Structure 1
Amino acid sequence: MPGPLAGLRVLDLSRVLAGPWCTQILADFGAEVIKVEKPGEGDDTRGWGPPFITNPDGSKGDAAYFLSTNRGKWSVEIDMASAEGQKLIRDLAAKSDIVMENFKVGGLKKYGLDYESLKAVNPRLIYCSLTGFGQTGPYAQRAGYDFMIQGMGGIMSVTGQPDGMPGAEPMKIGVAFADIFTGLYCTIGIQAALFHRERTGEGQHIDVALLDSQVGVLANQALNYLVGGKAPTRLGNAHPNIVPYQTFATKDGHIIMAVANDRQFKEYVGILGLPHLAEDERFKLNRGRVINRAELIPLLVEPMKTRTTAEWVQAFESAAIPCGPINAIDQVFANEQVLARGLQIGLTRDDGVQVPGVANPIVFSGTPIQYDKAPPRLGDGTEKVLREELGLDADEIARLRKAGVIG
């Protein structure tokens, strides 16, 4: 069964993470994705290791980082700095539905590959520009990277141990949080633009920024400030609006308790052997528990240490109180639920190399995702794409390769 975006062609001029994350999702959904890479070098993340996969000849191959975000694409080596390379890319854009790029503002104009230039050859084109700070504003010309955007965009100010605790300092999230969310916003925007084009026949330019996306996903923390007028602070693993919603030490480790309503709190303290806390006016309602957090939490800490994590999970789950262990990543992929959902996948590259991967978390009933192509070898689609999409013959491809226009 073809994917929901089958028949669409994406010209991917992006590299590193946020843009490729978007185009990998589009590939998962059935779109044909042509990834343009610099001859002989390719995407920077091919070298961002270790770890690396092993090539058939025993040499180091691509880094795991690259593999995480480029499934389902064809790699085409084209020198964008050459006039002939620019023409090849324009010719591909004329035959594409979507262009994804993450160059600095105006960076592609000198190559004739900016939106206005490509719109002239393909008015139906949906062109998504992903930058650090957007196409407008005083920071538009600045480069943006995930780590600095996490800091500038506020998420680090609410992540980490609170002041006065051991290890207290602003803390970044353990994956590229701003990049991933920006890639998701690009995907959402592109799909909305496709629907608009379906109704009107018109393409458009989409402007997505790392900083905008990071601010956009501050969610309740942003509204806590905008409504309450007080900037939220770091709470470690505690929640600013729900109590108790945090980690607790157990007899053999830690457990996450997510006691999200008053019924659950009553059941929770009953199992803990502290039923009177549910009748205490300070703690009876969640709003009181938030206000009186400093008084309540110390009353729970020692009782939580009396059983193992597994024993608490069994006891709380039987009472429908949300809780869970803190798994290392190897434990995640050994988890029975993760296994049952098929979240680890395996793909075989055209040279026989086995490449693991993580499944797309979206499950379609009518158009299930097919994982047919491993992340590409550098240039694995150069000849195929130029021959099939642009009609170039073997002699012309050989000439372009000899001239260094293609790899």
Structure 2
Amino acid sequence: MSALADLRVLDLTQVLAGPYCTMLLADMGADVVKIERPGGDLIRENPPYVDDADAEAYGGYFQSVNRGKRSLELDLGADADREAFLSLVERADVVVENFKAGTMEKYDCGYETLKERSPELVYSSIRGFGDPRTGETERQGQPSFDLIAQALGGVMEITGQEDGPPTKVGPGVGDLFTAALNAVGILAAVHHRERTGEGQYVDTAMYDCMVSLTERAVYQYSCEGDSPTRQGNSHPTLFPYDAFEAVDGYVVIAAFSDGHWEELCEAMDRPDLAADYPDAPSRLANREQLRGEIADWTRRHESETILDLLGGRVPSAPVQDTADIFADSHVHDREMLADVAQPGADGEMTVAGSPIKMTETMPRPRGRAPLLDEHREELLDEERADSGRGVAKSDD
């Protein structure tokens, strides 16, 4: 049995943040029912595709974060579909949505309405700026995407080269970090309900989460009074902790402790540097000179030679591209690449596996993403059967 096998989640989310949150729950065994608006999730048709685009049911974007879910297409503006949704709520544990504040209320499906139907319900929202129930601000109701959250939350200001512009982090951390924290909040609320019988509202805002993600900048500003800004791949308080160019690419070296510094100097055949800069303050005070010394050394060697010389004694690694990741035995041994069926294509699609590892209830992708409305009969038949037997969600 999987860890969340007894948890039923109604997922009204779309695009990335919400679907990634519920994907984490699905990987851990939750029965995630994706309630899709007419026409389906906005990113169903987004590329890339495995084979022939015309034959694909959906692209990689949708597949990656919606694997292992069931799909039901409902129009909450239609009375019959709204009643079907409310009936599903009565037998659900969790509802998750990522609409603008007030959207669910327009359909009379807001938290208060759903709570009347299911007092123990955990209702969770992911929004750009949060929900008025947990703290009202003038930004609520404004649209937001990952780029907006990264800009407002300070992530872009501290990302990029010193002489370059503010830079977005490659992965959509405004979505993904928010999604992960929202999943934590949902599970905490479920745990609270198990102890007290009390449901509640869980609210996770992208802007809030980016402030949390840039926690280092917050305490730096508090202590120093200056806003931290971009400094490339280096670290404001640790050295060396940076990327260095090699003959065939880049390597990263994190040798900021005294012991690791000595090991690095030995590998470089520079005992003088270890003697002249024996502690962290002296290295930080002379970081530019020392960065140049290390860079001169790495530029004379290939990445593999550098890593061999450091011999696992100094924290270091090559800067890998995705092809390198696919070729890395560690990634395969940890089951971090998973192949799932791709409807309409001759081949499978590879998606990222679950990073959460458990000894007794191992999370893993549980099948491909659903076709739009694929599980209508299955879900409505279950609903009719449960209604006929008077089955409550606690008996699922």
TM-score normalised by the chain length of structure 2: 0.92
Q: Which residue does the alignment assign to 1:15?
A: 14
Q: Which residue does the alignment assign to 1:149?
A: 149
- Does the aligned pair in 2 maintain the 1:349–1:376 contact within 8 Å? no
* 1:25, distance to aligned residue in structure 2 (A): 0.7
Q: Which residue does the alignment assign to 1:4?
A: 3
Q: Which residue does the alignment assign to 1:348?
A: 341
Q: How does 1:240-319 map to 2 (within 5 A)?
A: 240-280=236-276, 283-318=277-312
Counterpart code for 1:322: P
Aligned pair 1:116/2:115, yes or no?
no
Q: What SS class does the counterpart of residue 349 from structure 2 fall into?
A: strand
- The CA distance in 2 between the partners of 1:385 and 1:175, in whole Å, is 34
Q: What SS class does the counterpart of residue 26 from structure 2 fall into?
A: helix
- The CA distance in 1 between the partners of 2:275 and 2:364, in whole Å, is 54
Q: Which residue does the alignment assign to 1:401?
A: none
Q: What SS class does the counterpart of residue 235 from structure 1 fall into?
A: coil
Unaligned 5+ residue runs, structure 1?
394-407
Q: Which residue does the alignment assign to 1:181?
A: 177
User: Please, which moves more after superposition, 287-296 or 185-194?
Assistant: 287-296
User: Please, which moves more after superposition, 237-246 or 186-195?
Assistant: 237-246
- The CA distance in 1 between the partners of 2:216 and 2:354, in whole Å, is 26
TM-score normalised by the chain length of structure 1: 0.90
Q: Which residue does the alignment assign to 2:380?
A: 386
Change in 2 beyond 3 A, CA 1:355/1:301:
closer
Aligned pair 1:327/2:325, yes or no?
no
- The CA distance in 2 between the partners of 1:289 and 1:69, in whole Å, is 44
* 1:161, distance to aligned residue in structure 2 (A): 0.6
Counterpart code for 2:40: G
User: Please, which moves more after superposition, 137-146 or 293-302?
Assistant: 293-302
Q: Which residue does the alignment assign to 1:396?
A: none
Q: What SS class does the counterpart of residue 43 from structure 2 fall into?
A: helix
* 1:83, distance to aligned residue in structure 2 (A): 1.8
Change in 2 beyond 3 A, CA 1:305/1:115:
same
Q: Which residue does the alignment assign to 2:220?
A: 224
* 1:48, distance to aligned residue in structure 2 (A): 1.9
Aligned pair 1:235/2:231, yes or no?
yes
Q: What SS class does the counterpart of residue 237 from structure 2 fall into?
A: coil
- The CA distance in 2 between the partners of 1:390 and 1:183, in whole Å, is 32
- The CA distance in 1 between the partners of 2:174 and 2:285, in whole Å, is 31
Counterpart code for 1:357: V
- The CA distance in 2 between the partners of 1:289 and 1:86, in whole Å, is 64
Pairwise CA RMSD:
1.9
Change in 2 beyond 3 A, CA 1:355/1:304:
closer
- Does the aligned pair in 1 maintain the 2:27–2:366 contact within 8 Å? no
* 1:288, distance to aligned residue in structure 2 (A): 2.8
Aligned pair 1:360/2:360, yes or no?
no
Q: What SS class does the counterpart of residue 58 from structure 2 fall into?
A: strand
Q: What SS class does the counterpart of residue 311 from structure 2 fall into?
A: helix
- The CA distance in 1 between the partners of 2:166 and 2:343, in whole Å, is 44
- The CA distance in 2 between the partners of 1:200 and 1:23, in whole Å, is 24
Q: Which residue does the alignment assign to 1:373?
A: 367
Deviations along 1:244-291, one digit per CA (max 9) or x if unpaired, are: 1111112222211111311111111121122111222xx322233223
User: Where do 4+ consecutive residues of structure 1 move more than 4 Å?
Assistant: 349-353
Identity %: 34
- The CA distance in 2 between the partners of 1:83 and 1:25, in whole Å, is 32
Unaligned 5+ residue runs, structure 2?
388-396
Counterpart code for 1:138: E
Counterpart code for 1:72: G
Q: Which residue does the alignment assign to 2:31?
A: 32
* 1:385, distance to aligned residue in structure 2 (A): 0.5
Q: What SS class does the counterpart of residue 61 from structure 1 fall into?
A: coil
Q: How does 1:73-88 map to 2 (within 5 A)?
A: 73-88=69-84
* 1:357, distance to aligned residue in structure 2 (A): 1.9
Aligned pair 1:52/2:45, yes or no?
no
